[in-house]
Amino acid sequence: MQVELAQEETKKAAPVATTSAEADDNFDWEAYANDDVIPASEKEELVNRYAETLSSVVEKEVVEGTVISMNKREVVVNIGYKSDGIISLNEFRYDPELKVGDKVEVYVETQEDKKGQLTLSHKKARALRSWDRVNAALENDEIIKGFVKCRTKGGMIVDVFGIEAFLPGSQIDVKPIRDYDIYVGKTMEFKVVKINQEFKNVVVSHKALIEAELEQQKKDIISKLEKGQVLEGTVKNITSYGVFIDLGGVDGLIHITDLSWGRVNHPNEIVELDQKLNVVILDFDDEKKRIALGLKQLTPHPWDALSADLKVGDRVKGKVVVMADYGAFVEIAPGVEGLIHVSEMSWSQHLRSAQDFMKVGDEVEAVVLTLDRDERKMSLGIKQLKNDPWQNIEEKYAVGTKHKAIVRNFTNFGVFVEIEEGVDGLIHISDLSWTKKVKHPAEFTQIGADIDVVVLEIDKDNRRLSLGHKQLEENPWDVFETIFTVDSIHEGTITEIFDKGAVIALPYGVEGFATPRHLVKEDGSQAKVDEKLPFKVIEFNKGAKRIILSHSRIFEDEQKATDNAKKKDEASATKKAVKKVKEKLEKTTLGDITELAALKDQMEAREEEEKNNN
């Protein structure tokens, strides 16, 4: 440009040539002008002076230039060369505040292109210097500018000195950002917080710039805090356990239990993001910079507003807000709850869960059982809305009356049944059957089944009935006594064998018992399960309901009877022989006497043997 100005001045000083001179092609215009306007001695001095004004430019190097003009598409940069360079404005989009007079670094691509133009690049200059500058920025904790190019997973991509750096979403601001798109296309200040030299990854943070300021603000704010102080804040974040409030540079937490005097399932039931509200300072920690806030404390406690006329025995209505196995919490007024224990839900004594009676959201009516205004506790009951079935138990379920019941539970010693809600009874295992030996109630009935019972005894103090099932029928043992007499023989089937003996099923549904010695058959083998054999009754005990049987005794007694009959026949023959001898006694000789004595000895020996056998 300086060359152009010099040529223009020369033209102004030169005289106008004649027409004949214009026609002469060999005319030396430069020599003519210089000789007439600028002396030769001055020409060399002028060239030297102009050369001194030009910079020494080397291609492929980075130099510093000055912005001398710019428009919507291009930026003109002067690097002190004989001509200026033109650079696309896109290469400066990271710096929208660029203006004339700013110093910028440029990369000299060529001193002159085909058009004689100086070719520069700001983008390449930034790329060559960027890595060094990024490392220096991290080392010196320097604040740098960057251009937010686009969104990416978990954050943003930022152009820093021509390098694509990652800006995590958590590092955009001190408060959670819900819309990343509003930052795209903006130029912001950052700090380099991490560099991975191996993978050339750069992480920047905008949040780090304001944290230092916020930290000082926090100190100033916390130093002025007092418990009980009321401040205005903005809902910054909502979590399942509470709400974070921005108090103007410092955050405080309202725990979920301090949001409302009533039950709160989730904080978003009470507040919403960016909502402004007044909060009270409950506590704070200077060292940890923690501030505990309260919202419900700004309103009177609901218990203080509870009607003074409410007393034990009154009926109240409310809504079930919380369920547990042991009971239900009912809100009778906002922030005023009472507990209905499961034992107060029914007059029934058997164990049940509170969920069997109600669920969250149910509107219920209850009776106030206890009321402690100082402790702010109340217990309620719903079974009290019905009459206690045990008040007139002797009239409704008198001893000897028969009823239907439902089996509720088993124990080893009996069956618990429910005649009606709140009226329970026990059938002892011995009262289930007259004839069957019940080892466990599950052999006889099942839970949930209906069963007929008769009232045997009433225990009003313990609210329990003693019931019977077998008593619904006459005692068959009065009849069995006439059937299963001792020495009577009956056919039976062995149903079970164990070490001490066997159980034998007899006619009429009764069972008997036989020891192993009485289970031996005539061939010497032992009887087995499911074998049907004749059995002799050797003992009948009506009181103990016991019948003792024997299979072996049948053939043993038959054998004994046969042996006894044979002995009687032999004794009779002997007596006849003795009588005959006596008749001939008078005619007895010495030899006869000897024979008689031998016969006598024989008879005595037999008599002795019979005694021993008996």
pLDDT tens-place string over residues 105-138: 888 877 777 777 788 888 788 777 778 888 888 8
Read off the pLDDT of each residue in 191-220 and give the average, rounded to a whole number. Answer: 81
Q: What is the pLDDT of residue 118?
A: 82
Distance CA 504, CA 549 (A): 8
* Residue 444 shares a structural domain with residue 518: no
Dihedral sign for Cα atoms in the order 84, 87, 89, 92 = negative
* Residue 186 shares a structural domain with residue 153: yes
Residue 6 included in any domain: no
Q: What is the pLDDT of residue 58?
A: 66
Q: What's the whole-model pTM score? A: 0.42
Please classify residue 149 by burial: count the beta carbons closer than 10 Å to its beta carbon, then call 0-12 exposed, 13-18 middle and 19+ buried: middle
Residue 517 included in any domain: yes
* Residue 381 shares a structural domain with residue 424: no
Residue 247 included in any domain: yes
Q: Are 130 and 161 in contact (CB under 8 A)?
A: yes
Please classify residue 158 by burial: count the beta carbons closer than 10 Å to its beta carbon, then call 0-12 exposed, 13-18 middle and 19+ buried: buried
User: Which residue, of 326, 352, 385, is where some domain finishes?
Assistant: 385
User: Which residue, of 210, 234, 252, is where some domain finishes?
Assistant: 210
Residue 20 included in any domain: no
Residue 279 included in any domain: yes
Distance CA 118, CA 263 (A): 76
Distance CA 603, CA 613 (A): 16
Closest C-alpha to 236, from 222, 252, 216, 257:
252
Q: Are 160 and 148 in contact (CB under 8 A)?
A: no
Residue 44 included in any domain: no
- CATH number of the domain bearing residue 316: 2.40.50.140
**Which DSSP string do the residues of 77-121 spell out, in sequence order?**
EE-SSSS-EEEEGGGGTT-TT--TT-EEEEEEEES--TTS-BEEE
Give pLDDT tens digits for 136-161: 888 888 888 889 989 888 888 998 88
What order of strands is seen across the sheet that includes strand 62-70? 85-88, 74-78, 62-70, 103-110, 119-121
Residue 313 included in any domain: yes
pLDDT band at 600 (very low <50, low <70, confident <90, very high): low
Q: Are 440 and 428 in contact (CB under 8 A)?
A: no
Range of the domain at 279: 225-298
Distance CA 89, CA 516 (A): 115
Distance CA 294, CA 283 (A): 9
Dihedral sign for Cα atoms in the order 397, 402, 403, 405 = positive
Distance CA 133, CA 139 (A): 10
- How many independent structural domains does the chain possess? 6
* Residue 448 shares a structural domain with residue 489: no
Give pLDDT tens digits for 457-499: 888 888 888 898 887 877 777 778 788 888 888 898 998 888 8
Confidence check: pLDDT of 369 > 90? yes
* Residue 277 shares a structural domain with residue 329: no
Give pLDDT tens digits for 184-203: 888 888 888 888 888 878 89
Distance CA 321, CA 584 (A): 122
Dihedral sign for Cα atoms in the order 551, 554, 555, 559 = positive
Dihedral sign for Cα atoms in the order 313, 319, 321, 326 = positive
- Higher per-residue confidence, 9 vs 163: 163
- How big is the chain, counted in residues? 614
Pairing of strands 201-205, 187-196: antiparallel
* Residue 567 shares a structural domain with residue 609: yes
* Residue 440 shares a structural domain with residue 463: yes
Helix, strand, or coil here: 229? coil
Chain centroid, CA 71 distance in Å: 64
User: Which residue, of 472, 506, 537, is where some domain finishes?
Assistant: 472
Residue 8 included in any domain: no
Distance CA 219, CA 289 (A): 8
Dihedral sign for Cα atoms in the order 211, 212, 213, 217 = positive
3-state secondary structure 11-41: HHHCCCCCHHHHHCCCCCHHHHHHHHCCCHH
DSSP class of 256:
G
Beta-strand ranges (E) seen in 518-576 are 532-541, 546-550
* Residue 590 shares a structural domain with residue 521: no
* Residue 232 shares a structural domain with residue 285: yes
* Residue 499 shares a structural domain with residue 571: no
If one counts every other C-beta atom within 10 angstroms of the C-beta of residue 49, the result is: 9
Give pLDDT tens digits for 233-261: 999 899 999 999 988 777 889 999 899 88
* Residue 306 shares a structural domain with residue 378: yes
* Residue 468 shares a structural domain with residue 482: no
pLDDT band at 48 (very low <50, low <70, confident <90, very high): low
Helix, strand, or coil here: 429? helix
